[in-house]
Chain A
Amino acid sequence: MRSNYLFPESARFYEHSLRLYERLGRELDFNIMFSQRGMLTLAHSRHDLESQRRWANAMRLNGVDSELLDTDEVAELVPALDCSPSARLPVMGGFIQKRGGTVRHDAVAWGYARAADALGVDIIQNCEVTGFELSSGGAHTVKTTRGTIGADRIGLATAGHTTTLADMLGFRLPMTSYALQAFVSEPLKPVLDTVVLSPACGVYVSQSDKGELVVGGGLDLYASYAQRGNLPTVEQTLRGLLTLFPSFSRLRMLRQWAGIVDVVADSTPVLGRSPIPNVFLNCGWGTGGFKAIPAGGWCFAHTIAKNEAHPLTAAFGLDRFARGALIDEAAASGIAH
């Protein structure tokens, strides 16, 4: 959870999301365990420091909190981190958004599901969409493994499999699906009190309230719909982790998982209309959609109901690829999504 974005379009949207998250538990009457332990991004070179300075300044201009830390402050915050000058990835400083943190992901899904159900939404589980019936006015019939559903408007929110549905609907998206892995250690007594991200080695780590270290890295480097995940990516992620935290080497990996993420060229979501008039898109979240769920839902509902983009997501339409109006946070400053 964070809203540490460079461009105003991203910052406004993700900040809205963060604020919605801050009250979501009470709103849904379901404890989502939003743990605002801070999100620290490490700088390993003077160039990193300069990029972080640009980024931190831009955030303040966007009205979002940001602080720059020097090496000693990072070392105090994260004692397990190797902050020695001779470290292979020397810590020159860092950038922190203190309101950032983690949320219990299942609780978000369940809290929403319960609240939606109470509002009269039918949630049909284990129900695979197998096709659409198209007419000149759009797609009004959804075929599924459990029968046919008629619909005036259809929203696609299927992450890594959005392209599969687009194929059924007869249009192509500028989007590639990859496996993204994460894993946890066995539960430990508190050893890491904040979320740490090192863009230089593409590793992030935090410790859950249960005591497990939660570790993630980059994508598996080939397109896939298979939710297995490969070993080399795990190895490479751990090499980075142990280079940053040499004392974590004797801990053990307990669980691993992989999910399919929908990656677009600029790593900014696609939220808005599709080439079919009554079908709406909520996809392209890549590796970073979870933090956007409340705002994404908010704006998607607006888009479907009013058949026009919400002001917060007006820049996220599919048309931006044709116009060249990409919002590329990662390329601009190495900010991970």
Chain B
Amino acid sequence: MSGGSRREFATGIDISRALRFRFNNRSYVGHPGDTLASALLANGVQLLARSFKYHRPRGILAAGAEEPNAIVQLGTGEAAEPNLKATEIELFDGLVARSVNCWPSPSFDLRSAYQLAAPLMGAGFYYKTFMWPDWHLFEGPIRRAAGLGIAPQDPDPDRYIHKYAACDVLVVGGGPAGLASAWEAAEAGLDVILAEIDFRLGGSSLWRGERNEAERLEAALRAHANVRVLTRTNVFGYYDHNALVAVEKLDGEGARQRLWKFRAKRVVLATGAIERPLVFANNDRPGVMLASAAQSYLRRWGILHGRQIVVFTNNNSAYEAATSFVEAGADVTIIDVRPRAKIPDIAAVRVLPGHVVKAVVGRRAANGVTIGALDGGQTFTLQCDLVLMSGGWSPTVHLFSQSGGSLRFDEATQSFIPNRAVQAVECVGAAAGELSGLDIEPLWEVPGPGPKFVDFANDVTAKDIGLAREHSFISVEHLKRYTTLGMGIDQGKTSNVNGLAIMGELTARAPGDVGTTKFRPPYTPVTFGALAGPLVGDLYRPVRYLPAHDWHAAHGAVFEEYGGWARPTAYPFPGETWEQAAQREAATARKGCVLLDASPLGKIEVVGKDAGTFLDRIYVGNASSLKVGSARYGLMLNENGIIIDDGVFVRLREDRYLVHTTSSGADRIAAMFDEWLQCEWTGLDVAILPTTTQWATLTVSGPDASEVIRETGTDIDLDDFPHMTFREGSVAQLSARVLRASFTGEASYEISVEASNATQLVGALERAGRPLLLMPMGIEALMILRTEKGFLHVGVDTDGTTLPGDVGMAGPIARKASDFIGRRSLLRQEALREDRLQLVGLQSHKGVLPVGAQVLRDRSVPGPSDGFVTSSYHSPTLDGPVALGLVRAGRSRIGERVKLYDMGEHHSAEIVDTVFFDKAGERLRA
């Protein structure tokens, strides 16, 4: 098909070039500058959608973001976009689109039978039906019938980016008022950003034909050094402190959309106004259109899609559209509800004052209207092929209202206009209610029978508003929720004011007393991907890699994420599972020597003359009494006495400590330190230096550990280096910090070097350890070893209810004189109960207990729980199961046998001490 005959005066298209596109499996031609809507209209496609609820045939109502009917699915496969308005799609060559929510096509839709049921499906009918025998019986078919477009099934192939911009003045809207405001500000030397949702600047000048001034200003602004012009940019949110957010559609190879975050000293809203439909029977038929939209299609896109035109209005603005159509050669009749005295004197246009359109004739297209006097009497039918309507204008106050500004109802224009601003914002042009000469007479609903649509997107009729009134849902917020008025895909842009005004008439309230619902972002729907930006998928909280990651990978490591780090779980040999590898590695640690990458272990330096005092308040134990060069294990609590982290801390110097946290606690604990220092203990002379990622830490552990260090080459005297002390020196000719502490139960050396030297150190250790059969060890084996030793793993063997006494660590508290975080809470009634969950060992005699299995109090399920298994492994050293668990009053029940339950299976175990191996702790001191 051809692109349709276009009028040569079209201001918005390049008629010399053709763009081919497909819609509902048929090929069409349009031109650069077309929207999908204009191209379809030019090709004579009027019926292109079915309505949301009743599947009534629908055409195009509007020409912009307010369109409620013409919803399409753009593209196919992974790049499909459901639910776009045909009026907001800029035509491109090769475009493919189809109608949504109708099958097989909008002209023949199998669900169109829903129209017959319409009398039963009024507002709120769901609430009154489908209860017997059960809602679930009806829900499936209702779900399948609901919804519009179809979500793509594959990942989005496109990218989205975010950008920040600050300016003196942000002008939203590139129509005449916006262009003038931008120019004025730019000329005053201010830094200006002008954002326009359309792909063309000009706003109303594009359809009102006043192009000269707009074109002059556009050219001047584009050339102005102070001005940045953004088209295709939808400013959709207005937040506190003049922070606004917009989404820009991009062309070409790069990202698909850009999210702009503006911070403007001043905001000018030149967002125009949206024309309102009139509410009369069958006003939703294809071929019924807003007068200004028809004028747009005629002037901007050169489409005369009707020859016999009826214009129905209650104000002067539609006369401009009428004149345009007369000039273009159409036959025009104006039906004006106002009395003759108010009618403007326009030659060549037939006007019927004091009359209304009662109903539209025709199902799939308007082919006539029934006309009558407002006050009743005879009606008659007039043939036509296009019905234009104008019920007045609603200034686009969405962003102003989002900014916190209040609105008031203006009698002269019968619209809500900006009242009082609370941020540095002003509205200009039609957005400010400058709708001079409208001379409007309110007509919210034409009396008479028939389905009179208020909200086209959600199929809400005037009768539904009446039902809401009958059911006492008269508040504007109730009206919205009960009828779904304004909750459709167009967000009520053409329906909200009509709806609330009709409710006002039914309840004897002026529209201003009914008020509007709250305006919230987004002004029009915004792509999830654009809001999320680039930090999705692999960039979502990006995994951190060990400084010697490649070395581990080369040694066969299987990686898993632990606390945000990719760490080796185990290093399986060919033919070995990772579980088998972990058993082998754990056994090696007890017999020979292993190498563990402990770099993610949290390292925070606490510096200052009050560092000891500070840490005394942080730890359950004492810090200030620690000798320089020595280390101590400590627990940290929150104010409720709950254990939140643990680790070994070292006194580096009189005024400098090195605090080790768990790897997942590194960021959290550093932030907590800062909060206490900045908010509570402002008098302390302490600075916090999180240094975790500056260091690579390799732990050598096992009976042969000191031999490996010696072989590696060190100037540290290993013969005078006891457990829980710290040395600085060189290891493998690298400047190193070495700590003797142990989480394996074996003699261990934690060697920290500059992160960039990680691979060098690990290589040197590997070479030195080769004769001793040194082996890399992963996290799983470490967990086996520490469970054998009964060493606590915070967050695994404790939860958000565990106090120090519950894990047998209340000892230091009695000896400590000074206060610390959580101390008070340890004296509360609940903390002193004797039946608290306590950490104990659980000895199974038949296989490994499942972690999460519950200890039964009286052998019944359901029934009371007496605790649960927290850690459980097969011990290669003991050749049997070892487990830890939190058990009610567990320490007083050592030796007792208990029953456990796990997802339908039963187990049994004996409550034992937490330490399964080397109870005296001789090995780690070796």
Residues in chain A within 8 A of chain B (CB atoms)? 8, 25-26, 29-31, 33-36, 45-47, 50-58, 60-63, 68, 79-80, 82, 88-89, 104, 106-107, 110-111, 125-126, 185-191, 201, 207, 209-211, 228, 230-231, 234-235, 238-243, 246-257, 265, 322-326, 328, 330-333
Which residues of A have CB within 8 Å of B240?
A: 228
Q: In the bound complex, how far is the Cα of B83 from the Cα of A185, in angstroms?
A: 10
Cβ contacts under 8 Å, B328 to chain A: none
Which chain B residues (79-135) contact chain A, with CB distance < 8 Å? Answer: 79-83, 126-132, 135
Given pairs A62-B862, A187-B489, A188-B147, 4 additional interface contacts (CB within 8 A)? A47-B796, A60-B861, A247-B152, A251-B527
| B26 interfacial contact with A, CB 8 Å | no
**Residues of chain B lying within 8 A (CB to CB) of residue A330:** 800
CA of A247 to CA of B529, assembled, Å: 10
Known contacts A50-B852, A249-B536: A60-B901 contact under CB 8 Å: yes
**Shortest CB distance A117–B (Å):** 9
What residues of A have a CB within 8 angstroms of the CB of B831 in the complex?
Answer: 324
Among A30, A243, A250, A257, point to the contact of B127 (Cβ < 8 A).
Answer: A30
The listed residue (B482, B489, B543) touching A254 by CB distance below 8 A is: B489
Interface centre among A68, A238, A249, A257 (most CB of B within 10 A): A249
The docked-state distance in angstroms from the alpha carbon of A62 to that of B149 is 43
Q: How far, in whole Å, are A88 and B149 apart by their CA atoms in the complex?
A: 28
C-alpha gap A244/B795 in the complex (Å):
25
| Closest chain A residue to B901, Cβ basis | A57
Nearest chain A CB to B229's CB is how many angstroms away?
24
Q: Give the interface centre of A26, A107, A240, A251 by most chain B CB atoms within 10 Å.
A: A251
Within 8 A of A (CB), among B485-541: 487, 489, 491, 520-522, 525-529, 531-533, 535-538, 540-541
Provide the residues of chain A in CB contact with B150, threshold 8 Å: 188-189, 191
Known contacts A33-B135, A190-B147, A125 near B475 by CB under 8 Å:
yes
30 contacts between A and B (CB under 8 A): A8-B864, A31-B126, A31-B127, A33-B135, A45-B560, A52-B852, A88-B538, A186-B525, A188-B82, A188-B149, A189-B148, A239-B540, A242-B528, A242-B536, A243-B537, A246-B155, A247-B78, A247-B152, A247-B154, A247-B155, A250-B81, A250-B82, A253-B525, A253-B527, A253-B531, A324-B825, A324-B831, A331-B799, A332-B799, A332-B801
Q: Does B220 contact A (CB under 8 A)?
A: no
The smallest C-beta distance from A118 to any residue of chain B, in angstroms, reads: 13
Residues of chain B with a CB closer than 8 A to A68's CB? 903
Expressed in whole angstroms, the Cα–Cα distance for A79 and B526 within the complex equals 24
Pick from A8, A30, A56, A254: contact of B903, CB under 8 Å: A56
Known: A36-B136, A53-B850, A253-B531. A211 touches B491 (CB 8 A): no
Judge whether A255 and B903 touch: CB under 8 Å.
Answer: no
Whole-angstrom distance between the alpha carbons of A331 and B850 in the complex?
22
The closest CB in chain B to the CB of A22 belongs to B134
Chain B residues in 8 Å Cβ range of A187? 52, 83, 146-148, 489
Neighbour of B128 across the interface among A31, A45, A243, A252, CB < 8 A: A31
State A209–B373 Cα separation when bound (angstroms).
43
Q: A25-B135, A36-B136, A187-B489 are in contact. Are A249 and B532 (CB under 8 A)?
A: yes
CA distance A328 to B535 in the complex (A): 32
If A53-B903, A242-B532 touch, whether A31 touches B863 (CB-CB below 8 Å) is: no
Q: Does B245 contact A (CB under 8 A)?
A: yes
* A46 pairs with B520, CB closer than 8 A: no
Question: Which of chain A's residues have a CB closer than 8 A to the CB of B535?
Answer: 239
Q: Which residues from chain A contact B237 at a C-beta distance below 8 Å? A: 231
Task: Give the residues in chain B near A50, CB-CB below 8 Å.
Answer: 796, 851-852
Contact with A along B819-846 (1 / 0, CB 8 A): 0000001001111000000000000000
Complex Cα distance A252/B829, Å?
Answer: 52
Q: Which residues of A contact B522 (CB under 8 A)?
A: 253-254, 256
Task: Give per-residue flags for B136-155: 1 if the beta carbon is below 8 A from chain A beta carbons, else 0.
Answer: 10010011101111111111
Whether B861 pairs with A251 at a CB distance below 8 angstroms is no
Contacts of B142 in A (CB 8 A): 209
Asked if residues B531 and A250 are in contact (CB atoms below 8 Å), the reply is no
> If A61-B901, A231-B237, A249-B536 touch, does A256 touch B521 (CB 8 Å cutoff)?
yes
A36 closest partner in B (C-beta): B136
B487 contacts across to A, CB distance below 8 A: 255
Which of B147, B154, B541 gathers most chain A CB within 10 Å?
B147
Output the nearest chain A residue to B474 by Cβ-Cβ distance. A125
Please give, as numbers and ranges, the residues of chain B lying within 8 Å of A257 by CB-CB distance: 520
Q: Is the CB of B130 within 8 A of A186?
A: no
Q: For the complex, is B640 an interface residue (Cβ under 8 Å from A)?
A: yes
Does the CB pair A255–B830 fall under 8 Å? no
**Min CB–CB distance A7 → chain B (angstroms):** 9
Question: B902 interface residue, CB < 8 Å from A?
Answer: yes
* Closest CB pairs A-B (n = 6): A331-B800, A211-B147, A53-B852, A324-B828, A249-B156, A246-B155
A53–B870 Cα distance when bound, in Å, is 11
Is residue B853 within 8 Å, beta carbon to beta carbon, of the partner chain?
Answer: yes
